[in-house]
Amino acid sequence: EPEVTQTPSHQVTQMGQEVILRCVPISNHLYFYWYRQILGQKVEFLVSFYNNEISEKSEIFDDQFSVERPDGSNFTLKIRSTKLEDSAMYFCASSAGQVQETQYFGPGTRLLVL
Amino acid sequence: GDSVTQMEGPVTLSEEAFLTINCTYTATGYPSLFWYVQYPGEGLQLLLKATKADDKGSNKGFEATYRKETTSFHLEKGSVQVSDSAVYFCALISNFGNEKLTFGTGTRLTIIP
């Protein structure tokens, strides 16, 4: 069964460093998403991406964040200058369509900013 | 804005007990409703969904019915197993071109043999 994959599974970084989280969505899906879950809190939407551009983003997704689909398979989330409060589990998801379609999630990347 | 309220956890049950995890929502229009499950050390997996009022989603013995009149989508299972131990998330997507999933806080379920 096709699945969303994410790398790395864990990342530790120093405050102020740049990190890139990678995702490979399900191959025939067109819509891509990033969510995060701070320990003990809700899963929160960050951004959605379609047709090589951001279609929606949350208040959390400020100028420190960016997304890219550099080739036909990868979807990346970059945090330019990490802060302590960026420590969280980051989930990538993809869906085949847009309106109320099921989103399929990857296993997540646990980011720890020291 | 959209919101999902879930039963506070953690919930501990004995094997073969009946499970209910309550979920209510606030949304404009007619959202689609989902239950996702997160097993230890894994990502979020879709458990079941319902897209319109009175629909019943079901999977692996779990069921949830979309109740528009009470804005609820409670998760039930008649006889739980140890392997059902996980965190369960209720979520919605609104139907106003809004693509984001709005999640509840999650309910940690532990089943003891």
Instruction: Read off the pLDDT of residues B51-93 as tens digits, 9 standing for 90 and up.
Output: 999 999 999 999 999 999 999 999 999 999 999 999 999 999 9
- Looking at residue A101, its pLDDT comes to 79
Question: B43 in helix, strand or coil?
Answer: coil
pLDDT band per the 50, 70, 90 thresholds, residue A17: very high
- Looking at residue B75, its pLDDT comes to 98
Q: Pick the more confident residue, A35 or A98.
A: A35
Percent of chain A scored above 90 by pLDDT? 77
Q: In terms of C-beta density within 10 A (0-12 exposed, 13-18 middle, 19 or more buried), how is residue B8 classed?
A: exposed
B106 touches A: beta carbon within 8 Å: yes
Q: How far apart are CA A66 and CA B4, in angstroms?
A: 28
A50 and A97 in contact (C-beta within 8 Å)? no
- Looking at residue B98, its pLDDT comes to 63
Task: Give the mean pLDDT of chain B.
Answer: 92
- Looking at residue A5, its pLDDT comes to 94
B110 touches A: beta carbon within 8 Å: no
A92 and A23 in contact (C-beta within 8 Å)? yes
B113 and B52 in contact (C-beta within 8 Å)? no
Percent of chain B scored above 90 by pLDDT? 79
Give A28 to chain B, closest Cα distance, Å: 18
A102 touches B: beta carbon within 8 Å: yes
Q: Return the residue of A nearest to B49 by Cα.
A: A102
Average the pLDDT over A41-70 and give the result.
92
Of the candidates A48, A106, A108, the beta carbon closest to that of B100 is on A48
